[in-house]
Structure 1
Amino acid sequence: MLPAVAVAVAVAVAVAVTVAVAAVPALRHRLARSALLRAAGRYRRRLEGTEVRPSQERRLRRLLPPGTARGSEAFRERHPLGQSCPDAAPGGQVPPLRPWALLRSCWGTDPPLQGSLLYLDALSDAFPQALAPGGTALLSWAPGPRRAPAGWPLPALYCTPAQAGALPSRAAALRVQLLFALRTRTLHVLEAGLATELHDALATLRAGWPELAQDLALGKLSPQPGLPEDVRGRLQALLVPDSARAAELRAECAHGFEGIVRRLWPRLQVVVVGTAHGAEQLYCDGLRQADCRGLPFYCPFYRAAGALLGVNLWPEEPVPRFLLCPDWAFCEFLPCPAEEEPRTVLLDELWEGREYGLVLTARPGEYRCHTGEVLRVTGFHKQCPVVEPVRRESQALSVRGESIPEERFCRSLCRAVGMWPGARLVDYVCVESNLLGASSGGGAPHYEVFVELRGLRDLSEGQRYKLDQCLQEDFPVYKSFRFKGSIGPLRLHLVGAGAFARLREALGPPRPMPRVLGDERLLRLIQGTVIS
C-alpha cells in the first residue's frame, strides 16, 4: 500500500509542479499587463490635463542645444522654415523595457513607450480579450533595426516569433509569419506594420494555401528563397504537426476567400494596421470589402517623417482620428490654402474644421521641416487637437504645374475601373513622362499609369481612354491643358499579378507605397511586369 501511496503522491506533486511551471508565463503576462495598464491610465490622465502651450515649449527646449534662445517665438525668428524632412522609415527600434521605465513613463517623455501604453489601454477597453497571451499575430517585415510592433511592451501578446520578421526577404518573412498565425486558431488580434503587409500576406494565402496546409500538417517549414537554412531550422523547432488545423485551412480556402480571415480565426476581434490613410487606404478598403469582411480596422498611431506624433484613442471608429500629444514633438502648422507670406500657427492656435500643412521639429538639429503632410482638425480632446490626415503633398502628379493630389487621382481611377465590367483595382502607381526619357515615345508631357487588376486580363483602347476622360471631368486645369495639347493623353498599362509585391520588396525598408515613382530602377522593374 505504501509504495502505491508514495507513487500517487509523487505523481500529484509532479503534476502540480508541471502546472505551476506552465502557469508562470501566464502569470507573468497578467502581472505585466496589469502594471502596463495602470501606467497607461496614469499617463492618460496626465495627458488629458495637459496645458498645450507650456508642454510644447518644454519639448522645444529639450530639442535645442544648451544656451540657445528660449521660447517658440525666438526659435521661429532664428530658424527659417526648413526644407523637406529627411526620409525615415515608419516605426523605430524596440528599446529594452525595464521595470523602472514604466515608472519613468508616468512623468517622462518617451513617445514610443507612452504611445504603446495608450494603445494597449484603448485596445483593452474596446476589445476586452485583445490582450490575451499569444492572441496576437504579427505580419511585419523589418530586415534592419527591428521595427517596434504596436504592443511591444507586452511581448507575450504575440504568437509569431520575432526572428521571423527579420529575414532578408520580405516575401519569406511574411510567409513564415502567416504560417505561425495560421497555427493559432484562437487569435483575437491580427496586426500588420503596414496594410500592404497584410495585403501581401493574404495574397500569399490565396496563391499558396495547399503548401501552407501541408506545412501545418507535417509541422515543418518548407525551404524557400530568402530563408537561411540555420534560421529555418530554429523556426521549424517551434512547430508541431497539426493535421486538424491543416484540414480546416483546406476546407475554408476551398470555399473561396470572401471573409476568409474571420472564417480562419473565428475569435478575431480587430485588425490593427500601422497606417490606414494616404497610399495605404486603398489596401484597407480592399481588405474590408473582401478578405477581412466584417472586421473593424484600427490604426493606432500617427507618424510623420519617422516621428511619432499622435495616437488614436477610438479603436471602434471606422475613420481614424489622432490626438496630437504635445510633449512628443514640437509642431507648427501652415494654414491651407497657402498664404502669400506664410506664418505658422502653433498647436494651441488651431481651428476646428480647417486644414494645415505640418511643419515638424522632432530631432535635435532638424528644425522646422516640411513634412508634406496636410491635416484636418476634426475637434479637440480636452485641450489637445484631434486631426485626420488628408493628403501627402509630395505625392501629387504635375507635368505642367497642374498638381493632381494622390487621393483625388485615386478616386478618379476607381471611378474609371468601376466602368470596366468585372474589374477590381488591386494596386497602381504613376509616372511622369520626364522620368521615362526616350522610352516615353516623345510627344507632349503626359502621365503613365501602371495598374494591377482582379477580374480583367486585358484592356481595350476604349477602357484605357476612360481614365483620361475621368481626369478631364474631375480636374478642369488638366482638361484645359489636354485641350491645348500641352499635356498628352494618359497611357495606361496593365501589369501581372504579384508585380506590386515585388516592387514593395525592392523599395527597401517598409514604408507607405509611393504613388508617384521617381526612381528609374523601380520604374524599370514595374515596366518589366506589363502584360497589356
Structure 2
Amino acid sequence: MLLVVTVVAVAVAVTVTLRASAVLRHRLARSVLLCAAVRYRRRLELLGSEVRLSQERRLRRLLPAGTAHGSEAFRERHPLGQSCPSDGVLSVHPPPLRPWALLCCCWGTDPPLQGSLLYLDALHAAFPQALARRGTALLSWAPRHPRARAGWPLPSLYCTPAEASALPSRAAALRVQLLFALRERALRVLEAGLATELHDALATLRAEWPGLAQDLELGELSPQAGLAEDARGQLQALLAPNAARAAEVRAECARGFEGIVQRLWPQLEVVVVVGTAHGAEQLYCRALRQADCKGLPFYCPFYGAAGALLGVNLWPEEQTPRFLLCPDWAFYEFLPCPAEEEPQTVLLDELWEGREYGLVLTAQPGEYRCRAGEVLRVAGFHKQCPIVEPVRRESQVLSVRGESIPEDRFCRSLCRAVGLWPGARLVDYICVESALLGASSGAVAPHYEVFVELRGLRDLSEGQRYKLDQCLQEDFPTYKSFRFKGSIGPLRLHMVGARGFVRLREALGSPLPMPRVLREERLLQLIQSTVIS
C-alpha cells in the first residue's frame, strides 16, 4: 500500500512541477514509470502462476455481458474463424498518460501501457544508461497511422521530432530522422520500427553522407523529393548549425562503414527493433550485426499479431528474440503443426516445449477465434506462461503445385546456395509464383521466379543460378519429385540493382514487415524494372 501511495504522489508531483528543469522532470517521470513497471511485473508473476484462470478472466472481458462463461462453451459456440481482419501490423495508439493510469495498469488490462512499462524496466535493468533524456533516436515511417514508440510513456527519451515519422515519403522520413539522430553524439539507444527501416536508413547514410554532413554543418534541410516546403520549414526550425559534428561524421564515413554505428555514436548501448523479427526478417538483423552495427546487441521487445500486442521480450541481451505471452492481453488458442485434418485447438497451459503451433487469437470483442497466420515455436516457460519464438508467416508460403515451401525454410535454402557463390553476400530477396506473371511467363510449367540483391557479385553464371534450384530439391523432396516429373519447371533467378528493394518497400505504401512472396502485379512490375542480370 505504501508503494501505491508513493507512486501516485510522485506521479502527481511530475504533472504539477512546471518550474522544474527538463532534466529533473525526466528523472522524476522515469522513476514513476519504473516503480509502476516493478509493480506490474509482480502482478505478471502471479498471473503466470494461474494461467488457465487468467485466460478465463480475459475471455469474460472480451465476451458480451450475459454470455455463458468458460472456454469450452466459447469454443463450442464459435467455430474456428478465417484470417484475422487486421493486416498484422502492430499499431498502437495510446491515450495521453495520466498519473492514475499507472496505478490502474497494475491490475487492469492495458497491453500498450503494460508492454511499454515492461520494456522500460527490462531495458533499464540490462543497460542502465539507456533511459537518458534525449538519448534515443527513432527511425520509423508511419504516414497515416502513427505507431507508438517503444518508450511512449516517457517522450523525453527521444531526440527525434514526431513530425518526421508522418512524412508521406518513406525515403524522406528516414533521411530526416537519420539527420536528427546524427546531431546527437551521446545517443544510448537507436530504435527502429522495423529492421528494414534501420537497414534502409543506414543505406541512405552510405549513399548520401556528404549531403547529410553538409546539412549538419549548415543547420539546414536540403531540398529533396517527398519533403514538402511547409514540412521542411517546420523541421528546419528545430535544427542549428554544428560544424564540429559535421566534421566528425565526414571523418568516420570516409574511413568506411564497418562498425559505423558504434563509431558515430560511441556511447550507444543497444539497437532496438520494435517490429517482430520473423525467421526471414532476421536476414536484415544478421547483415547489420556483421557490418554497420557490428559489436552492438539487438533487442526486439514486443511480439504482436493481427494488430494486437501479445508478448514481451524480457531478455534484452539474448541474441535470439523470445517473447513471454502475457495471459491477460488476449485469449490464445493454438493449432499443433503439422495441421490435422480435423484441427482441435489447445490452450495456453497445454503447450509442449519444442513444438510448433499456429496461433488462433481472440483479442478484440466481436473478433473471435481468428487465425493469425503466425507459426510459433515454444522455447520454454516462465512459470506457466509459454515463451515463444516466431517462426514463419503462413501467408508467405511458396506453392505452385501444393508443395508448400515456407518462408523460413526457403530462406535457409537460399542462404545455403549463396554460400556456394564465392564472394557473394545476400542483401535481400523476393519470390514470385509464375501464375502472377501471366502470359509473360511463357508456355512452360509452373515455376518460381526469385529476385535477389547481392554484394560481391556483378553477375551470375547459369551454373550458379542452378545451385538454388538444386538446394531446393535437396531440402524439399516433394519439390524434387515435381521437378523430376516436369510438373514444376526450373526456377528462374534474377539479380536486382542497388536500392531496388528500397523502391519496393516505398511502393508497399505502409510500414509492413517485408513480404517474401509478391502477390500484386504492380509490385512485380516494379521489381522487374530493377533487374540487372
TM range, normalised to the smaller chain? over 0.9
1:161 maps onto 2:158 in alignment: no
Q: For residues 328-348 of structure 1, give each alpha carbon's deviation from its aligned partner in whole angstroms, at most 9, with x where no partner exists.
A: 000001112222321111111
1:345 aligns with 2:342: no
Rounded to whole Å, the distance in 2 between the matches of 1:312 and 1:21 is 35
SS in 2 for 1:303: strand
Which residue of 2 is the match for residue 78 of structure 1?
77
Partner of 2:507: 506
- How far is the alpha carbon of 1:23 from its aligned partner? 6.1
Which one is further off, 463-472 or 273-282? Answer: 273-282
Q: How does 1:429-508 map to 2 (within 5 A)?
A: 429-508=430-509
Structure 1 residues 518 and 195, CA, compared in 2 at 3 Å: closer, same or farther?
same
The residue that corresponds to 2:424 in the other structure is 423
Give, in whole Å, the separation in 2 of the partners of 1:253 and 1:122.
33
Structure 2 distance, partners of 1:522, 1:101, is 44
Distance in 2, matches of 1:523 and 1:65, equals 44
1:137 aligns with 2:137: yes
Q: Which amino acid aligns with 1:74?
A: A
1:31 aligns with 2:32: no
Partner of 2:3: none
Query: Is the Cα–Cα contact under 8 Å of residues 497 and 530 in structure 2 kept in the other structure?
Result: yes
Structure 1 SS opposite 2:358: strand
Hey, what's the Cα distance between the residues in 2 that align with 1:30 and 1:250? 34
Partner residue of 1:409?
410
- Inter-CA distance 116–268: structure 2 relative to 1 (3 Å threshold): same
Q: Highest Rg: 1 or 2?
A: 1
TM-score after normalising by structure 1 = 0.95
Instruction: Map 1:73-222 onto structure 2 (within 5 A).
Output: 73-86=72-85, 87-222=87-222
Asked if the contact 1:89/1:509 (under 8 Å) is kept, the reply is: no
Note the C-alpha offset of 1:464: 1.0
Any unmatched runs of 5+ in structure 2? Answer: 1-16
Instruction: Provide the C-alpha distance between the structure 2 equivalents of 1:102 and 1:224, rounded to a whole number of angstroms.
Output: 42
**Retained in 1: the 8 A contact 2:280–2:411?**
no
Task: State the alpha-carbon separation in 1 of the partners of residues 358 and 398 from structure 2.
Answer: 18
1:40 lines up with 2:37 in the alignment = yes
1:135 and 1:267 mapped to 2: Cα distance?
10
Give, as a single letter, the amino acid of the residue that structure 2 aligns with 1:80: P
> Do 2:430 and 2:515's aligned partners in 1 also have CA atoms closer than 8 Å?
yes
Q: Greater CA deviation, 462-471 or 64-73?
A: 64-73
Question: Structure 1 regions of 5+ residues with no counterpart?
Answer: 1-19
Q: Secondary structure at the match of 1:397?
A: coil
Give 1:22 deviation, angstroms: 9.5
* Alpha-carbon distance, 1:81 to partner: 0.5
1:272 paired residue number: 272
Instruction: Give the ranges of 4+ consecutive aligned residues of structure 1 lying more than 3 Å apart after TM superposition.
Output: 20-23
User: 1:279 Cα deviation (Å)?
Assistant: 3.2
Equivalent in the alignment of 2:315: 314
Task: Check whether the contact 2:277–2:390 (CA below 8 A) recurs between aligned residues.
Answer: no
Structure 1 equivalent of residue 7 of structure 2: none
Read off the aligned partner of 1:280 and give its amino acid letter.
E
Given that 1:90 and 1:510 are in contact with CA atoms closer than 8 Å, whether structure 2 keeps it comes out as: no
Please tell me the residue identity of whatever aligns with 1:255.
R
Distance (Å, rounded) in 1 between the aligned partners of 2:94 and 2:288? 28
- CA shift in 2, pair 1:21/1:210, >3 Å: farther
SS in 1 for 2:280: helix
- What is the percentage of aligned positions where both structures have the same residue? 83
Q: Which amino acid aligns with 1:42?
A: R
Count residues in correspondence: 513
Partner of 2:5: none
In structure 2, the partner of 1:292 is 293
Q: Give, in whole Å, the separation in 1 of the partners of 2:290 and 2:277.
A: 15
* Aligned partner of residue 281 in structure 2, secondary structure: helix
Cα gap change, 1:246 to 1:21, in 2 (>3 Å): farther
User: In structure 2, what is the equivalent of residue 63 of structure 1?
Assistant: 62
CA displacement 1:338-374 (0-9 Å, x = unmatched): 2232111111111222211110011111111111211
Q: Which secondary structure does the structure 2 equivalent of 1:394 belong to?
A: helix
- Paired residues of 1:48 and 1:383 also in contact (CA < 8 A): no
Query: Does 2:249 correspond to 1:249?
Result: yes
SS at match of 1:404: coil
- The answer to whether the 8 A contact 1:56-1:327 is kept is yes
Alpha-carbon distance in 1 for matches of 2:420, 2:305: 35
Pick which of 284-293 and 57-66 moved more: 57-66
Preserved CA contact (<8 Å) 1:90 1:511:
no
Contact 1:192/1:272 (<8 A) preserved: yes
Cα deviation, 1:162-181, whole Å, max 9, x if unaligned, reads 11111010000000000000
- Paired position in structure 1 for 2:52: 53
Give the aligned CA root-mean-square deviation in angstroms.
Answer: 1.3
Q: In 2, Cα distance between the equivalents of 1:293 and 1:441? A: 45
